[in-house]
């Protein structure tokens, strides 16, 4: 889990955020909670976000992947897609998450893939499918994020952003 990896971003997104001095890997990461859970973002674009999470360390008392862990992975991936859709001048805030747990996972990695259901001006909704290493569906989730304009005081909330933040 301590290994370095590079998230695959579309080049236009890299250029947009680099011009603002924003650290993309920090901004579009899983944050402190995601780091503790071992979430790794593999690919990130408004059209598709892919991430993995180990089952080990994220289980409930019966040794199965905790449903809350699946929810954290789903919200992380859907939020990243929503942030990328909104661009550097918008902030994505989750307002609704639902998860259906189809089967348990006891070991290995689970992979989540978030794809847009709706990408509008004020909201974005993503479906997130989480599968095990045998490509069997573990969980299906749907996340809706509200998109709002970034305000000057929001700069402090963005990891890796310069003191003035995005305009």
Tell me what pLDDT residue 16 has: 80
Entry pTM = 0.85
Tell me what pLDDT residue 2 has: 43
Distances (CA, A) of 3 to 6, 38, 150: 10, 11, 33
β-sheet bridge partners, residue 8: 43
Instruction: Write down the residue that tokens 């979430």 correspond to.
Output: 39
Reply yes or no on whether 75 is catalytic. yes
Low-confidence ranges of the chain (pLDDT < 70): 1-5, 25-30, 154-167
Tokens linked to 41: 């973002």
104-136, pLDDT tens digit by residue?
A: 999 999 999 999 999 999 999 999 999 999 999
Q: Which of 96, 137, 148 is nearest to 117 (CA)?
A: 96
- The catalytically annotated residue of 43, 56, 75, 133 is 75
Tell me what pLDDT residue 21 has: 74
Alpha helices in the chain, H assignment, sequence order: 11-20, 24-27, 31-37, 67-86
Tell me what pLDDT residue 167 has: 44
Tell me what pLDDT residue 165 has: 44
């Amino acid at each position: 889990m301590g290994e370095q990896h590079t998230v695959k971003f579309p080049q236009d997104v890299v250029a947009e955020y680099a011009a603002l001095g924003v650290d993309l890997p920090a901004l579009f990461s899983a944050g402190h909670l995601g780091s503790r859970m071992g979430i790794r973002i593999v690919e990130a674009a408004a059209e598709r976000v892919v991430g993995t999470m180990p089952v080990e360390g994220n289980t409930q008392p019966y040794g199965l992947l905790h449903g809350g862990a699946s929810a954290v992975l789903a919200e992380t991936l859907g939020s990243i897609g929503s942030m990328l859709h909104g661009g550097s001048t918008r902030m994505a805030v989750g307002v609704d998450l639902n998860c259906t747990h189809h089967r348990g996972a006891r070991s290995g990695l689970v992979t989540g893939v978030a794809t847009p259901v709706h990408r509008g001006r004020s909201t974005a909704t993503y479906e997130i499918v989480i599968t095990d290493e045998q490509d069997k569906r573990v969980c299906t989730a749907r996340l809706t994020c509200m998109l709002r304009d970034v305000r000057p005081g929001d700069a402090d909330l963005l990891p890796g952003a310069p003191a003035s933040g995005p305009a």
